[in-house]
Structure 1
Amino acid sequence: MHSGVLINYLYTYFFTIIFCIVFQIGFYFKTKKNISIQHFLWVYVFLFYLSLVYKVTQIGTIWDIGRYETLIRANQINLIPFASEGMTTYVLNILLFMPLGFLLPTIWPQFRTIKNTAYAGFGFSLAIELGQLLDNRITDIDDLSMNTLGAIIGYLLYRVLFKMIYKRDEKKIDNNFSLVIKYEAIFYLVCSFVGMLLIYYPVLFRRPLILQ
């Protein structure tokens, strides 16, 4: 049983990172920048986290297109805030995105502002919610707002820990980066999502319990 769970996860992780690896190869040749081992390891911690998010939320894939009579169903889109029952769903959605809000500024200086981190959290959550429509699932405004809140809380946690550990202000962000370096994190988010959307084949494994 444990080996089956591990294989199931590794299957998800593979499709999370496959396009990211292609991007990394081009990234390193394009920038000709010496990337530290520490940065490299942090990136794969980030990708590990993304694979867990995909495993938990189970976004739809291109294999789901055509399985249902209509692609978008109005009754499966909830735009009424705070219509979800119980606090558990809210808490879980917040917790799910707190690591995103913490890891982004930890790894990339461009996300050491609450605005950029909140935008990234909102955009990533929106992509997941829209992806769930492909799989005949509910897209909920509450999930979107709680995920974004979770990213903001994760960012605030980063700020508190940074002050406690280093006891100094952060260095100013260098805005002279190339676009590839500046948006490296966004490329990873997009590449991992595209990998799951286009080539992940979920039928090979039984689906786990879904939080969203």
Structure 2
Amino acid sequence: MRIQELIGIAREYFMLVMVAIVFLGIVFVFGYFIVYKKLFKGKKRIRPQQLLIGGLLVGYVVMVIGVTFLNRGGSYPGRIDLTLFSSYKEAWYRFGVRHWQFVILNIVMFVPFGFLLPLWQKRFRRATFTIGAALLFTLSIETFQLLTGYGMFEADDLFNNLLGAVIGYGMVMGLLTVKSKGVKKLLIYFSPLLATCMAFGVIFTCYHFKEFGNLAIVPVHKADMRQAAISLEVKLNDKEIVMPVYNAPSYTNAEADNFVKRFFENLDLDTTNMEIIDYPEVGIYWLRSDRSHNIWFDYLDGSYQYTDFSSHDEGKEPIDTDEETLKENLTAFGIVIPGEAEFRKLDVGTYEWVMNMRETGDQLVNGSLTAVFYNDQTIKSIENHLVTYEKVRDVQMKSEKDAYNEVLVGGFLQAMDDRQIENVKIDHVETGYYLDSKGFYQPIYVFHGAVNGMERTIDIPGI
């Protein structure tokens, strides 16, 4: 989740927060001044600081409710994950900014809870009170998400929320007691924050020093193979083999910006007012005018999708043409199609060139390019996933039998409805490639066949 998205959520629920504070303020004024002071002759005074902290707590709780319920749809009916650290495993295997942000934000989200409660009421300066309240709050959220389908019931969310509350509690108690109990006690209170920062530091440092990235095909949860019937219709090799690892042409934000500018300038388009929206893995580029243009650019491998929105104009429609006309039009975009690419028609006016693992020297070309040709003799849509990879070095792979043993223990990604594997049929196996989180094209084993009667492939890391 980007900072812009967090600011957007805060703006979206700001009025709801203010309404809740005003409503509860009216209830408090009536209950305190009319009922407590007038009717029951109460003498206890409430400090202005307590009112301020109480208002902040109300606003915080409403914001949390907005993020956890109102900001998502009910698309997770009955889903429970009681495996601790599964979100950390998923973030590690995919190692995308967005996955780590979700983990970290689940911790940060409860820091204000642990910080504000001891300031609001002195009884919450006892750790058991604050941690107990945090446990009750996060457990209520997870249970409500489970019952309504507005989220999963996850053990990781409970852990991360409690960790955030403990960090917040430690921070405020350290600040409140530093004068009376000294720096040593301050360090003890701040130890949850320091330990958490060190843990994430170790994770990111280990990843940084890995030669290759992580593969998203590694499952967080293994498939349940206890009742599975396995049908193997191919003879597997028990010899380890050597395969090359390739590197994708990854781009920095600045390099992607320059590529897109050149792309638009090839079409004689003015990029002075080009709008750029940066996400961790993708850049979105807009030229907005009477004839808008858009590019989604993937930083990891340089693939992109281009759209000329004049395709929606009245009278514009795809028409058929020949390959030479398409290639001539693509040269205007700075695109040259390799001569070995397989050409085929997908639909009216829609054509595709495919390169299937074509090795040339120390390069590997793989992927496809799709173009849509319109009746004004122009191409208005391009999906270019035709990527040229550069060889890094040869690596030793596990054998087919070793990879098959991982299938037997459920070490592969399964579909959501494949919670219980009843049967697996494998009719052949081949080597393939998968792009890892650092932009390396790693060799994998691809088992072809069926799972629970449905045709599918099973990918197993090769290294």
Same fold per superposition (TM over 0.5)? yes
Deviation of 1:90 after TM superposition, in Å, equals 2.4
Q: Write the letter of the residue equivalent to 1:79.
A: L
Please list the CA deviations of residues 88-146 of structure 1 after superposition, one character each: whole Å capped at 9, or x if unmatched.
Answer: 33211110001110100011011001111111111101111122231442121110111
User: Which one has more relative contact order, counting CA pairs under 8 Å at least 6 apart?
Assistant: 1
Q: What residue is the counterpart of 1:145 in the other structure?
A: 159
Aligned partner of 1:78 in structure 2 is: 81
Q: Choose from 15, 19, 23 the match for 1:18.
A: 23
For residues 14 and 104 of structure 1, the distance between their equivalents in structure 2, rounded to whole angstroms, comes to 22
Which 4+ runs in 1 deviate beyond 6 A?
Answer: 2-5
Which of the two has higher C-alpha Rg? 2
Matched, 1:124 2:150: no
**Identity, % of aligned positions:** 31
Structure 2: where are the runs of 5+ without partners? 1-6, 92-99, 182-463
> 1:158-191: CA deviations, max 9, x gaps?
1111123xx126xxxxxxxxxxxxxxxxxxxxxx
Question: What TM-score do you get using the length of structure 2 for normalisation?
Answer: 0.30
Q: How does 1:48-127 map to 2 (within 5 A)?
A: 48-58=59-69, 73-74=77-78, 76-84=79-87, 85-86=90-91, 87-127=100-140
Q: Which letter does structure 1 place at the counterpart of 2:122?
A: P
Q: Deviation digits for residues 30-87 of structure 1, max 9, x if unmatched?
A: 3722212222122112212222212222269xxx9xx89xxx944x111111111214
Please list every run of 5 or more consecutive structure 1 residues that lacks an aligned counterpart in the other structure.
Answer: 170-212
Give the AA of the match of 2:157.
D
SS at match of 1:58: helix
Partner of residue 36 from structure 2, selected from 6, 30, 41:
30
Q: Cα 1:160–1:3, aligned 2, differ >3 Å: closer, same or farther?
A: closer
Number of aligned pairs?
157
Q: Is the 8 A contact 2:20 2:58 kept in 1?
A: no
Tell me which amino acid in the other structure corresponds to 1:97.
F
SS in 1 for 2:110: helix
C-alpha distance 80-20 of structure 1, shift in aligned 2 (>3 A): farther
CA distance, structure 1, for counterparts of residue 128 and residue 105 of structure 2: 23
- The alignment's C-alpha RMSD in Å is 3.2
Q: Which amino acid aligns with 2:140?
A: A
> Which one has a larger percent strand, Structure 1 or Structure 2?
2
Letter in 1 for 2:59: F
The answer on whether the counterparts of 1:93 and 1:146 sit within 8 Å (CA) in structure 2 is yes
